[in-house]
């Protein structure tokens, strides 16, 4: 069964947006360690399926991740179809969402003496089907606002290690004909903090997992 990458939301609530590298309103962030990501809306990069990297390879679907108490529940039904359901059917659908996104890891890194990075790992599970996506996102407080400085996502991704100024991410790669459960290859990618660019850059060869930064 193919993983469905198009995900819709049943509701929208947005006290703040963390969109791309755009910052939040001035004064919203003084210390990234204390910022409440558990109740924020994060804009992850959207992926339409193009360019095509293979059936299970490539970034996650992205879009708005509307966290409340560290959890975001999503439904595949468009609002119009949901409105046509009976009250009993709507109640039943609310008890079992199609997708559930949770904060799996929340890490503070100190890549340089004057730098502090908040690293979030979000796990997006297809509750009513197969497949899951992992989002690894890095944020800083810049000029009193939150700024996203790192993002990667996809299936078979895991944050293997994050210490100081380095990260290691493992990635499963599916060849044509591989079953969904079992990618035939796994690679490890390393990232280091660039003092000049003030962000994580990849040390590993660019030819591996070209959909990752």
- Residues 6 or more apart whose CB falls under 8 angstroms from that of 182 comprise none
The whole-number pLDDT of residue 18 equals: 54
3-state secondary structure of 106: strand
Helix segments in 33-129, DSSP class H: 79-84, 87-95
3-state secondary structure of 91: helix
- Evaluate if residue 135 carries a pLDDT over 50: yes
- What phi-psi label fits residue 49: left (phi over 0), alpha (psi between -120 and 50 degrees) or beta? left
Most confident of 8-17, 38-47, 71-80, 199-208: 38-47
pLDDT tens column, 71-99: 999 877 666 666 777 777 777 666 778 88
pLDDT tens column, 26-65: 347 889 999 999 999 999 999 999 999 998 999 999 999 9
> Cα(77)–Cα(116) distance, rounded to whole angstroms?
40
The whole-number pLDDT of residue 78 equals: 61
């Amino acid at each position: 069964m193919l993983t469905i990458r198009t995900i819709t939301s049943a509701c929208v609530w947005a006290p703040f947006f963390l969109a791309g590298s755009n910052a939040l309103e001035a004064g919203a962030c003084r210390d990234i360690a204390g910022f409440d990501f558990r109740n924020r809306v994060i804009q992850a990069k959207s992926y339409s399926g193009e360019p095509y990297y293979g059936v299970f390879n490539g970034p996650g679907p992205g879009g708005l991740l509307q966290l409340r108490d560290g959890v975001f529940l999503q439904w595949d039904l468009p609002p119009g179809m949901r409105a046509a359901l009976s009250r009993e059917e709507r109640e039943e659908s609310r008890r079992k969402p199609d997708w559930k996104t949770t904060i799996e890891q929340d890490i503070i890194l100190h890549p340089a003496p004057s730098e502090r990075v908040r690293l979030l790992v979000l796990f997006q599970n297809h509750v009513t089907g197969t497949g899951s996506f992992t989002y690894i996102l890095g944020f800083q407080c810049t000029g009193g606002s939150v700024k996203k400085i790192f993002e990667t996502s996809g299936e078979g991704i895991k944050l293997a290690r994050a210490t100081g100024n380095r990260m290691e991410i493992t990635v499963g790669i599916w060849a044509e004909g591989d079953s969904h459960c079992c990618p035939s290859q796994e690679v490890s990618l390393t990232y280091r903090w660039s003092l000049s660019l003030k962000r994580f850059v990849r040390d590993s060869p660019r030819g591996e997992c070209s959909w990752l930064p």
